[in-house]
Each structure stands twice: as C-alpha cells, then as structure tokens.
Amino acid sequence: MSLNILVCVKRVPATGAKITLTADEQEIDTRHLAFTVSPHEECAVEEAVRLVEKHGGSATVLTLGPEEATQQLRDALAMGVEHALLLETDGADWDPQATTEAIVDAIREAEEKAGQPFDLLLFGNEAADTGGYQVPIRVSHTLDRPCVTGIKGLEIDGEAGDRITATARRETTGGWELYAVSTPAVFSVKEGINLPRYPPLRGKLRAKKKPIQQTSPAYTAGGLQKIRLRVPEEQAQQAQHLGSGVAAVPNILAVLKEMEFVES
C-alpha cells in the first residue's frame, strides 16, 4: 500500500490573553505576535506524517496565504511532509467559497500532473481564526468525495482494488461514532487525534532546502463578506475574594451550600 496525502493548513497569529485590532478594525494587530497554524491542522499534519510512516507513500502540505506562510509550510516539511504548495494571496481574508475554489483548482492541477488522485485530503475541523466550519465539506462536494468532519481517530483498514478503505472515529458524549469510507476521501481533524511531534533538528535543516511550489490564484468573492471586526465587550467582573489558602475553605463551602452542591 502507498498513501498519497494532501494536508491543508492556515497561518494564524498566536494570540495571547487579549486580542487587539488594527485601527481600521479589519485585522488583528499582529505587530507583536508570532504565527502558527491552527491546532487542529497541526494534528492533521502529524496524522499525515504518521500514516505515511506506517503505510508508505508521500504527504504534501498546502496553504492559502501570504508569502510569509512559507514558514508554516516549512514547519510541516520539518515534521516529515515531502512536498509543499503555497497558494499566494496578499494576506487579506479569503471567504470560504473563494478559499474552496482556490484549493480545488490546486488539487485538480496536482492530481492531473500526478495522474492519480490524493487518497486522503486532510484539513483541520475549523480554522482557529475565522472559524468557518465549511471549507473541507465544500472541497469534498466539489470533488465528489466523501467527507467525515471532526475526527479524532483514523485507521486504514485495507485495500479493495484501487481503493483504500478507512475508518474514522468521531467523539461523542460517552463514546465514539465510527464512519467507514473508501478513498479518495476527505477528513477534517480535531486536536486530540494525536500529539504532534517537535520537528527534529535534522528535519528543520532539510526543510530549509526543500523547494516550495508557488501559484497565485485569482480571487472571486463569495457571499459572506467581512465589514469589520470587534472585540466583544467584557462585563467588568469584580471577583468576590473568598480568602487566601486554607482559610478560604469555609467561604468556598458556603458557596457550594448556597448552590446546593453540598447539603447545608
């Protein structure tokens, strides 16, 4: 068996305890922030690398973003991904429909060149920043492939002809739902499917030298368009001080009694 995997990631700022906006309220002020990929997607990259390590094949990472997103592609290469593809934009938000179109075009082109489809397309369940919850499904529908979202487990079951069968696990309250599908298929991954590795130094050095394939997709606006961003108003909360150390225990107990968690 050999698995041909594409994993899609998005460059996002690593926000801390507070978000500050630019003066025009169009973006997060990122002057003092580092960048990363969404946690779900970091796990998707790890999953792609593990699947290739176990079953053979190769993984490709794709991102739609500014030139600086090359850094996030290199991070994935350092983790063990083979190839990287940058769909370069000017860095402004692309709505989910425009994003889908650009990704689908890139996938079609890559598959045509390779003469075969990617067995698996992996995404994060939702981007940490825009939280659109739809690009993986839109891509799967446009390419007419099955899609299981929000998975926290993926097992390759075997081969049947030129198709590979896989079972994905989705966590529910008190258990798991299983979804068996055959490839080519699309999965969106949730954090928790694995614990991503720290890229080894060797991998980081290798990643620096790897070529990154670049295209500049055309933007066609979809029907959801940002007007402005706003930091939600915080209700100024004055915490009631229950005391310090063990001296606070009677007051804690009083709260628990009042809320009927312990009998008074």
Partner 1 sequence: MILGIIEHDRGRINKLSLEMMTFGRRLAAERETGFGAVLIGAGAEALVELMADYGVSQIYHVQHPRLDDYAPEAWAQSVLGLFPTAGPDVVLAAGTDRGQEVMAHVATRANLPLAANCLAVHAGEPFQVTRQRWGGSLLEEATLSGSPRLMTVAPFVIAAEEATMPTEPDIIPIMPEITDRDFRVRITGRVKTDSDKISLADARIVIGGGRGVGSSEGFAILEKLAGLLGGAVGGSRVVTNKGWRSHADQIGQTGTRIAPDLYIACGISGAIQHMVGCKGAQRIMAINLDPEAPIIGKADYLVVGDLHEVLPALVEEIESL
Sites for partner 1 among residues 103-132 (CB under 8 A): 126, 128-132
Distance CA 76, CA 124 (A): 14
Binding of residue 146 to partner 1 (CB under 8 A):
yes
261: contact with partner 1 by CB under 8 A:
yes
Any contact of residue 190 with partner 1 (CB under 8 A)? yes
**Collapsing DSSP states into helix, strand and coil, what is residue 161?**
coil
Distance in angstroms (rounded) separating the CA atoms of residues 180 and 194: 20
Q: How far is the CB of 76 from partner 1 (least distance, A)?
A: 18
Return the number of the residue (133 or 219) whose C-beta is nearest partner 1: 133
Q: Does 133 bind partner 1 (CB under 8 A)?
A: yes
Q: Residue 60 or 130: which CB sits closer to partner 1?
A: 130
Residues 155-174 interacting with partner 1 (rule: CB under 8 A): 167, 169-171, 173-174
Question: Does residue 224 interact with partner 1 by CB under 8 A?
Answer: yes
| Torsional class of 56: left (φ above 0), alpha (ψ -120 to 50), beta (otherwise) | left
The 39-78 site mask, x for binding partner 1 (CB under 8 A), equals xx--------------------------------------
| # of chain residues touching partner 1 (CB under 8 A) | 80
Write down the least CB distance from residue 214 to partner 1, Å. Answer: 27
Distance CA 228, CA 25 (A): 6
What is the β-pairing status of strands 185-189 and 35-37?
A: unpaired
Regarding 89 and contact with partner 1 (CB under 8 A), the answer is no
Handedness of CA 151, 157, 160, 162 (dihedral sign): positive
Could you tell me the smallest distance in angstroms from the CB atom of residue 227 to partner 1?
4
Q: Considering the rule CB under 8 A, would residue 246 count as an interface residue with partner 1?
A: yes
For residue 55, what are the contacts with CB-CB under 8 A and spacing of at least 6? Answer: 1, 2, 3, 156
Pick from 57, 53, 42: which is nearest to 5 by CA? 57
* Strand-pair category, 175-182 with 163-172: antiparallel
Show contacts with partner 1 in window 13-42 (CB under 8 A): 15-19, 28, 39-40
User: Out of 2, 92, 177, 214, which residue is the one contacting partner 1 (CB under 8 A)?
Assistant: 177
Q: In the bound complex, what is the minimum distance in angstroms from residue 21's beta carbon to partner 1? A: 8
Distance in Å, CB of 222 to partner 1, minimum: 5
* Dist. CA 120–CA 154, nearest whole Å: 11
Residue with tokens 């030129």: 162
> Which residues, numbered 193-212, are part of the site for partner 1 (CB under 8 A)?
195
DSSP assigned state of 223: S
